[in-house]
Amino acid sequence: MTGVIIALIIIFGILALVAIAVIGIYNSLVGSRNQVDNAWAQIDVQLKRRHDLIPNLVETAKGYMKHERETFEAITKARSAAMGAKTVSEAAKTEGQLADALSKFMLVVENYPELKANQNFLALQEELTSTENKIAFARQNYNDQVLFYNNRIQMFPSNVVAGMFAFTKRDFFQVESAAEREVPKVSFS
């Protein structure tokens, strides 16, 4: 009789320990998933900022660059494509194209010394440089968080808990364009 009770106590004890471990792992998985979401939100904020800056930039530059219609059109098109992106990989692709268009634009700016001396344009240029950097650093942070989170849902024992509660792997923010791969790229003097 006492033997049965002891066995029951032991079984309950083990079950309780397992339950505590599962709860702990579950909570920390939710924590790192939130970190990933938060890091993605950071990228989103900066991408929106880039989208908001472009109309100002184009408006300021238009008066000086009368013969560069194609360049402006390329930027405007890339911007609306990027704003319409739905998934992570789609966003990565369209944003890469937008960054390409912007760096081409900045190369063209080199031919317009008057524009480069405009105070308004200089301020916008600083904001754009910084936004490009912020996007790059936010992406760097996002990828770090995704790596950490993906490792956790693949490694034992957290993978068991992740399987039970349907934690799924996240995509890295891979950069499509070759020009964008060199982190903070848009560099204009």
Partner 1 sequence: MWELIRANKRNSILLMALMAVVLLLLGFVIGMAVVGPEGGLLGVGAAAMIWLVLALVSFSSGDQILLAASRAQPVTHDVHPQLFNVVEEMKIAAGLPVMPKVYIINDPAPNAFATGRSPQSASIAVTAGLLARLNRDELQGVVAHEMSHILHRDILYITLAGIMLGGIALLSQVFLRGTFYHSMGSRRRYSSGGRGGGQAQLVLFIIAIAAAILAPIMAQLLYFALSRRREYLADAGGARLTRYPEGLASALEKIAGDPAPQLATANEATAPMYIANPFKKRGRRTLSDLTSTHPPISERIRILRNMSQGASFKDYAQAYTATTRSKNIVPAAAMNDEPIAIRQGQVEAARPEKVQRQVHEIGDIMRRVNGFQFLTCDCGLKLKIPPDFRADAIRCPRCSRTLPLQAS
Would you tell me which residues interact with partner 1 (CB under 8 A)?
A: 35, 39, 42, 46, 119, 123, 126-127, 129-130, 133-134, 137-138, 140-141, 144-145, 147, 182-184, 187-189
Least Å from the CB of residue 112 to partner 1: 15
In terms of CB distance, is 89 or 141 closer to partner 1? 141
Q: What is the spatial distance between Cα 124 and Cα 131, in angstroms, rounded to a whole number?
A: 10
In terms of CB distance, is 76 or 133 closer to partner 1? 133
Least Å from the CB of residue 47 to partner 1: 13
In terms of CB distance, is 72 or 153 closer to partner 1? 153
Q: What is the spatial distance between Cα 136 and Cα 116, in angstroms, rounded to a whole number?
A: 25
Least Å from the CB of residue 85 to partner 1: 21
Tell me if residue 155 falls in helix, strand or coil: coil
Residue 188 dihedral angles phi and psi, to the nearest 5°: -135, 145
Q: What is the spatial distance between Cα 13 and Cα 22, in angstroms, rounded to a whole number?
A: 14
Give Cβ neighbours of residue 78 (< 8 Å, ≥ 6 apart).
Answer: 94, 97, 98, 100, 101
Least Å from the CB of residue 2 to partner 1: 45
**Residue 115 contacts residue 130 (beta carbons within 8 Å):** no
In terms of CB distance, is 9 or 107 closer to partner 1? 107
